[in-house]
Chain A
Amino acid sequence: MNGSLKQLLRSPLFLVVAAVLLWFSVTFLIYPNLTLLGTVFMPEGQLSFDAIRRLMSSQRAMESLRNSFLLAVILSVTVNAVGIFIVLATRYFDIKGARVLWLGYASTLIYGGIVLVAGYKFLYGDSGFITRLLLNVFPGMSASWFTGMFAVVFVMTFACTGNHLLFFGNALAKVDFQTIEAARMMGASSWKVLRSIVLPTLMPMVYAITILTFLGGLSALAAPQVLGGEDFQTVTPMILTFANAPSSRDLAATLAMILGLSTIVLLAVMNRLEKGGTYFSVSKVPVFLQKQKIENPVANVVVHAVAYALFAVYALPPVLIVIFSFTDAASIQSATLDPGSFTLNNYLRVFTDYSALWPFLVSIGYSAVATTVVVFGLLFVARLVQKFRNPATAAIEYILHIPWILPSTMVALGLIVTFDHSEWLVGNIVLTGTLAILAIAYVIGKIPFTLRMLKAAFAAVPDQLEEAAAILGAGSFTTFRRILLPIVAPTAAAVAALNFNHLLDDYDTAVFLAHPLYQPLGIVIKNATSNDTLTDTTALTFVYTVILMAITGVTMWLVYGRGAGSGVSRRRRPSPKATKALLSASPEAAREPRELAAAGAANTLEK
């Protein structure tokens, strides 16, 4: 039932949705960004590209750009290598303790951004465990060895494998096992089977994940900022800096536009891949994947060793964060454990001191409100654009993707410059300084991801269901509510959980828009980890991180937990846990799972 504009006009429900959508798009997506571009590039009503000249003459800016692209390219290789390996080790090969390994590898799904980087630094930094260990062996080496490109690539490689765990793992589970059996019967070795049968069928997924990884590298924020040192700084921190200085915002906007253009190009590539074919092999006779033994004993030992070494790399930072959250600041500073230094005071303080707990409440409140609004609203919108395909809805869809192209910093600035005075579009209310503006920014930031996931979910519902409902007398709203909503509900819940978790520790939107008395957690953590402060909040930061991980973990369990998978083979449903942003402070983090996730979501619909 491809709807025309005429049909749309006949449905009161969608008419209302269309009206609200139109208002929202114009008010919050188009107008603010145009205003921002105007103030930036036409400061006195005269078009000026001085920013480009200034950037071109800046060696530092050019190097940052180069580094960003370099990082993106390198990560495309390293993340794939590690990501594919950990998925194969836990889901394809018969490795002892695969379950425990998986839990370790999945730790990056529940924490990310600045706290993840801090965790790695805690281990490999100047006074970290590993560093001291290395110093014992190589006394001559520098204590600050963990810096520069190597450190950034190292941390981000492990931080960014979440997509592989979720989507590559899912795709692998869908490989028709009969093809593997057939190859085996013809005498192929396990290596040969993997290389010529399994991996080629998964290549579309690998391409798609590679693009995500590339974008993630391009927009890296926390890792280069903390670990990049003087030789390896990237663009996003620079955007943030320039955005903070009103007179340099044209530079921020220009750099953001360069990233945005790269994103558009990559999205175009992605769309081509999407059109190129299905990501998942469809087998009429599904035979569940059975784990493969590695026959070669040497290879077996090597793979086991690498798997456990990687496990250590993944698991140590979060484990240490948890342990050290129970110690005092001195222990944390020196990264030494002394039985006497264990204390529950940090936790007591967070849970008894209202002002220490407050940022949590604010973050949970904002995340919940924004998530609820964006998922609920877009359920209707996704349905609208999926059902009524015409130039108007296509245009709206493009507009709804704007937040993917602009870093959240720019979106926040756009909102500030547009709504720091009364605007009739929002009923002549000045939005800056209100609680609403941050929630609006959060909703905006989550639109593209939510829309794509939900649209894919609706698209996966066969048209015949709607026709069946129509013929039985159900109106479009009844059909929507009673038939379609229950079907897409699992996807909507998953999207909600991902959004919720991702917003919990947001920093770069909040820093511009948060109401001063309602500062969310990201700001508090960031302040605690930045210098120029005397009061020791390090221990508190660790506690915050642990609680964040706990909340994220619980949210994911609610949606993907084991009970939800019962009845179906566990192996067949590699429960996609949280898609915690790898670098949650990164403006592009929202881009992370995008179509892939949409594909994955459509996937979860199949029973």
Chain B
Amino acid sequence: MITFENVEIRFGDFVALPDYQLTVEEGEFFTLLGPSGCGKSTALRALAGFIQPSRGDIRIGGKRVTHLPSHRREIGMVFQSYALFPTLSVWENIAFGLKVAKVSKAETMERVREIAREVNLSDEQLAKSVTDLSGGQQQRVAIARALVLRPKILLLDEPLSNLDAKLRHQLRAQLKDLQQEFGITTVYVTHDQDEALTMSDRIAVMNNGRIEQVGTPQDVYTRSATEFVCNFVGDANKLSPATVQVVMRDGGSHLDPARPAYVRIEKVRIEAADTAASAAVPALAGRVSSRHYHGVYSSYRVETDRGMLRGILQEDGRGGFQPGDPVRLLVNPDDVLQYGVSRYGVAS
């Protein structure tokens, strides 16, 4: 549906995207994930037609759109700030694109009402000035305005970042539902790994203008292709060579203590020091140095003689451990992610 072919984007001397390659399938919810400045917004804006590549091509549905103006690419976009027109009413905002396209009054009426129903905007809200709406309502107007033109692609540029935490969580689901209902190919830009993991069909993790990994949320999380992805997505312990050596004692012959190694914090098992040792798994002895209560679980920092490790424990009502308690930590060698010295080293 969407392809970036060797796209290069420069701002003066600065190369934002050196050689960008990407394919997004039809109907997919595709997320560009990365820290700020990684080029994800640049890629999105190039797709929208706001930025011209200095090299390469962008295709939509096989058609080359590299030099096509924005409005002829059949895309809709929801901006980070929503970019609602402050001097127009909600209705006028949504109808703006139709009016520009000289759609008849009757059809405009019908289509605006229809989309308003879809995004749950009441007639009363349609009559209001956009400045009188709450953040969540504004976002719905922005979505309605983008979808009313029936675009083939929907671009979402961090649309949830302006909202408070609770609303953000609710809207993730709504956004995803809406996308599935319309079946529209969606490109979503965010720096929030939670959003990316929960909403996407596929994720491209970006860093420094390059794509580090493309894959399903599970792929990206459990089989992080690079050290960067591993660190950026989810939460991982970096293992010291000494720790790796302990882990290698049982079935970890494929591991190399000289290479960087990580284990996700939820893969670290924490057991009371007096529990009978599981023979299958090599253990590290340590003491709890701090505990943070999260309701569903608690996270622990454990000081071992081979370095500090973090782990989590489900809150099962039995109280867990307290700082100072002696514990032992277990890491399955299969759970260790290991990378080459170079960033492009092979995964374990």
Contact = CB atoms under 8 A, between A and B. Distances in A.
> Do the two chains touch directly in the complex (Cβ atoms below 8 Å apart)?
yes
Contacts of B101: 473
A471 B96 CA distance: 11
Interface string A437-470: 0000000000000000000000000101101111
Interface residues of B toward A: which range?
Answer: 20 to 34
Interface in A457-509: 462, 464-465, 467-474, 478, 482-483, 486-487, 489
A470 B71 contact: yes
Given A1-B50, A607-B131, A473 B97 contact: yes
A473 B77 CA distance: 12
Interface string B155-174: 00000000000000000000
Contacts of A486: 85, 87-88
Contacts of A482: 85, 88, 96
B97 A462 contact: no
A483 B79 contact: no
A195 B69 CA distance: 55
Contact of A471 (B75, B81, B84, B85): B75
B163 to A, nearest CB: 14
B42 interface: no
Contact of A467 (B79, B86, B100, B149): B79
B58 interface: no
Given A467-B70, A471-B77, A478 B100 contact: yes
Given A470-B70, A473-B97, A474-B100, A462 B83 contact: yes
B76 interface: yes
A487 B81 contact: no
Contacts of A487: 86-87
Contacts of A474: 71, 96-97, 100
Contacts of A1: 50
Contact of A468 (B69, B77, B87, B131): B77
B71 A465 contact: no
Interface residues of A toward B: which range?
Answer: 10 to 19
B96 A469 contact: yes
B145 A472 contact: yes
B48 interface: yes
B189 to A, nearest CB: 13
Interface in B49-100: 49-50, 69-71, 75-77, 79-81, 83-88, 96-97, 100
B71 A472 contact: yes
Contact of A483 (B70, B85, B145): B85
Interface in B25-39: none
Contacts of B71: 470-474
Contact of B100 (A462, A465, A473): A473
A469 B70 CA distance: 10
Interface string B130-154: 0100000000000001100100000
B153 to A, nearest CB: 11
A603 to B, nearest CB: 15
Interface in A342-385: none
Contacts of B50: 1, 467, 470
Interface of A: 1, 462, 464-465, 467-474, 478, 482-483, 486-487, 489, 607
Given A482-B85, A607-B86, 6 more contacts: A464-B80, A468-B145, A471-B75, A473-B97, A473-B100, A482-B96
13 contacts: A464-B81, A465-B83, A467-B50, A467-B77, A468-B83, A469-B96, A470-B70, A471-B48, A471-B49, A471-B146, A473-B97, A487-B87, A607-B86
Closest 3 CB pairs of A and B: A472-B97, A486-B87, A473-B71
